[in-house]
Structure 1
Amino acid sequence: MAIEYYVGRFQSLKMNNSLGRKSPHKVCMLLAVMDLIQAGYIVGNRIELNTTLKERFTQHFKRLSQSNDKNTPENPFFHLRSDGFWHLSYHQGYDKESTKRYSAKAIAYAFLDDELFDYMKSFIVVDQLKDALVSNLSDMTTLFYRWLVNVGKTENTARDYITVIKGDISNWLMDSGLLEDNLTDIHSYYEFSRYEQKARQLEQFQIEDTRKKGMYGAALSHYHKFFADLTKSDVKADINQVLSDNTLTKTEKSILVNTRIGQGHFREKLIQLWGGCAVTGYRNTQLLLASHIKPWRDSSNQERLDKFNGLLLLANLDKAFDLGFISFDDRGKVLISDYLEAPEVIGLKEDMALKLTPAHQYYLEHHRNEIFKRN
């Protein structure tokens, strides 16, 4: 089948609407599978519902789920069989007709159409598939609102950002003949990026952004970061850089790619080092992200694998740290930027601290000097 066939399939997944909106489970499962194929963890067309896949599913689910959604990766693993490209292999004594829900006793593994599996291995084609999946998430403004609140913006700021993106900025682009639909109706990261640049070049945008002290630019920047987070486009670019580095061996590339997507030995080293969330102590590692202190793109290959260049954090703290809204002083005490308008929303208190070793100091100094948004 041509790629257009699978793009169409991905854009029209058969999704559960029982809560009055589309559940994100199938999208999260397919994103997780593509991540693991790209990382070289899944090397053959055989997908097992193991701990690694469940953890990767959970990372996407934490970003895309809403309050009533339940973290049940076994459901999309089973129900994707109704979409035509995802197939299940059954243990002896079981078959499709007799198996009505996921059971490890009944189901051995899943596999894809061979053509689709090949497309998922391609760093060129996979972006089309990810963009197609995002089109199933119809309520982008709700996701953006929740993302903003989760990184410490107040509800008022979140509403203001959504208002100017859906209102003024979209209207200016449409009035200039540059845009047909609202910016929040766009479901492609790369397409949004193009319109973002066009918006920033508009005279009306520049005048109003100056008058509003940068609020319009901040709204676009945050929506860009939200979109990149939604599709993990920044991760994909970093993985491409590793794979195109001819100075690395195949094994070295595999290790670095696994590190970049938060899997592999680097994550295990952080779990052993911290034992739980480095800030809160929360110990369910399925809900924790392996985060670099000195950002991946600024680090050498040796620094990318150094466990002292890593923190194990809950997702909202990971995002706040990545955006420079929080950092830590040389004693480990949390530093909270004024840009983090509602630190209490993400569970931050001024007396929180890390237990540091001397080996952390170099990386944290870089984060304070280069990433942290000082007051």
Structure 2
Amino acid sequence: MDDQIISDYLYYFKKLKRGVSRGLGKAPHKPVLLLSIISLIRKQQITNNRIFITAELVLEFRDIWKKLVHTKHTENFALPYFHMRSEPFWYIVEKPGKNLILTKSKSIKSFRNLKENVAFAEINKDLFYLLTQSHTSKILETALLENYFPTKYQDFWENNINLEESRIEYEIENTDSKEYREKLVALKNTLNEEQFDEEIFVRGGLFKKTVPKIYDYSCSISGMKITSTHNVQMVDACHIYPFSLSNDDTVPNGIALSPNLHRAFDRGLITINDNYIVRVSPSISENESVFSLSQFEGKQIALPEKSSWYPSVEYLSWHNKEVFIL
């Protein structure tokens, strides 16, 4: 690629427009977000120039913030994601029919407002290409570190493990439902509303990632398994007892289902009894098809390796009584 293009992005990265707080200096949020994006591109968790708001990106932002930022600035993912639009390489794409709610100072109102109204952000395709190439990615990453975190960047590459992500995944896999709910209550009492919304989003994202992994990325009813080199997931993590009612993102409240069976389960057209046998609602009428629901009547579902990960019998009973259509 033309050396002039690389030079242009080096200039943009070194001249980021940043807010200034009295007594704190210039905000570190934008360089931390760019470093987070570079990291996820390197890990192949971002695979094109559309930057979606994901649990992985928020966690990477948090992790890099902890490593590099030692001022009293408030850690806030929504701010740089929104305000990066003032840079010549970043474009916010709103969801159809949605509008961002801004404060009087023209800032984003909240993380919730951001994720409800923004579909994704786009970076220039030539920038994305540069960030996929190890040599130019390293040049741009080093420029950010040297320019904005000159006293901290030397040990930045030493530890690539995201400890917070590992801790939350451990809680999702190994904490019982009561303890998990108590953990969320404690977090709600210690975090502000913005931080708590972000925390719930992150935990929900890791639930969606963890449950399919435990079921070997296979639908527990149909056995469907599709993998892709583009990090596309075709098996859903389905809550048995909706999170909005249960506040439970632990593995026993989840089951891996293909999208059509996930929808059928949520709408009560199928359920699973306490012997892990599929039942199909007698209310349905369908044509003969390889996609029919009736073919799964009486089928034993595939279960995870550990019995502690089996779907909660208590939650399945709730689904049988409250959701399943007889």
- TM class, shorter-length: 0.3 to 0.5
TM-score by length of 2: 0.45
Higher helix share: 1
Larger Rg: 2
TM-score by length of 1: 0.39
